[in-house]
Amino acid sequence: MIALRQTRDLTPMITAARQAAALTRRVQALSANGMLKEDEPVTLADYGAQAILCRAVAHDYPNDAVIAEERGDQFLALVTATDQVRIAGIVSDVLGEPCTPDDLARWMNAGTDRQSDTTWAIDPVDGTKGFLAGRRYSIACGLLVDGLPVAGVLACPGYPTDGDHGLLFHAQGSIARMEKLSGGLSYRIAVSPPPRGLQNVRAVASVEREHADRNGFLALLKSARLRDAKIEYVDSQDKYAMVACGDADLYVRLPIGAREHRVWDHAAGVAIVHAAGGAATDLDGSPLDFTQGRTLSRNRGMVVSSGGELHERCIEALTRLSREQAT
């Protein structure tokens, strides 16, 4: 039964992710697109994109549950009537059918009050600060079956490409694929083999310093004898996509303060990395636990890599550093 439930036609979510990406680009062009929600940025794009994605779940996967970042009641309470109408108009244009602010609020909440062993973890704009700054961000949809990330869709409008800006990644089971965000042929992707002697490892880390321990990451690279690693700082789950398609070898997220790891920030990326043949574990090498609701409360952080010796060396280094800190 689990194997049957794991096999899904991802086409509706791929289509919805493309529509959400089109919406985010239009909102990004507006002169005012952000506001504050509990000291974290949330934009009209977050609300509109979540409405599109959850609408697709309700229509094409009606028995599935949803864990998502935003709420319809929050949209109606925080967003001015003028902006509610504005974003509803953009969603209408993207979908090709009329909708109202109340429709958006209803769609945003679709599936969020349901319990199911098949659950979509949705982040409508992952990397909102990157979105606001004109950097990279992603639209993330991960499918959890019995708490395991078995499928994922990542639309990455800011992913650098030649000529056509943006890529879309999707995976299910052991197959991961990549295509232009604008459509066309899709290509199977896989993680890169480790660099010879683990020299010049390509590492990625979060742009925002408050998201992860940057000094701890540098200490890890030194302890793991990866001091010549080339580090690129990137927003959002684009980092997972980079590892999955071979544009990077390593991504490590070390905890900083009491910041929680939220399910929607990792589910899609983990599914895609696993399907591409990579590894994504906690800092001690144990599996990531997506069974605890909205947060990965049993996990300290993430080590994401092309696997093999590189992953093992990082886990060993983290274990050494942890012991040294404890003495």
Examine the pLDDT at 37 and tell me if it is beyond 60: no
Examine the pLDDT at 38 and tell me if it is beyond 70: no
Mean pLDDT, all residues of the chain: 92
Give start and end residues of each alpha helix (H) in the chain: 2-6, 11-28, 44-60, 72-78, 81-95, 101-108, 128-132, 214-223, 238-245, 267-275, 308-326
Instruction: Please name the CATH architecture into which domain 2-188 falls.
Output: 2-Layer Sandwich (3.30)
Weakest-pLDDT range from 35-39, 112-116, 288-292: 35-39
Q: Which CATH class is domain 196-326?
A: alpha beta
What is the average pLDDT across 280-305? 97
CA–CA separation, 314 vs 221, rounded Å? 8
Q: Which of 112, 47, 52 is nearest to 77 (CA)?
A: 47
Examine the pLDDT at 36 and tell me if it is beyond 70: no
C-alpha of 315 from chain center? 23
> Cβ(273)–Cβ(279) under 8 Å?
yes
pLDDT digits (tens, 9 = 90+) for 170-220: 999 999 999 999 999 999 999 999 888 999 999 999 998 888 899 999 999
CA–CA separation, 48 vs 32, rounded Å? 15
- Every domain of the chain and the residues it spans: 2-188, 196-326
Q: What was the pLDDT predicted at 326? A: 79
pLDDT digits (tens, 9 = 90+) for 160-171: 987 768 999 999
Weakest-pLDDT range from 100-104, 254-258, 299-303: 254-258
Examine the pLDDT at 275 and tell me if it is beyond 80: yes
CA–CA separation, 265 vs 11, rounded Å? 22
What is the average pLDDT across 33-56? 78
pLDDT band at 40 (very low <50, low <70, confident <90, very high): low
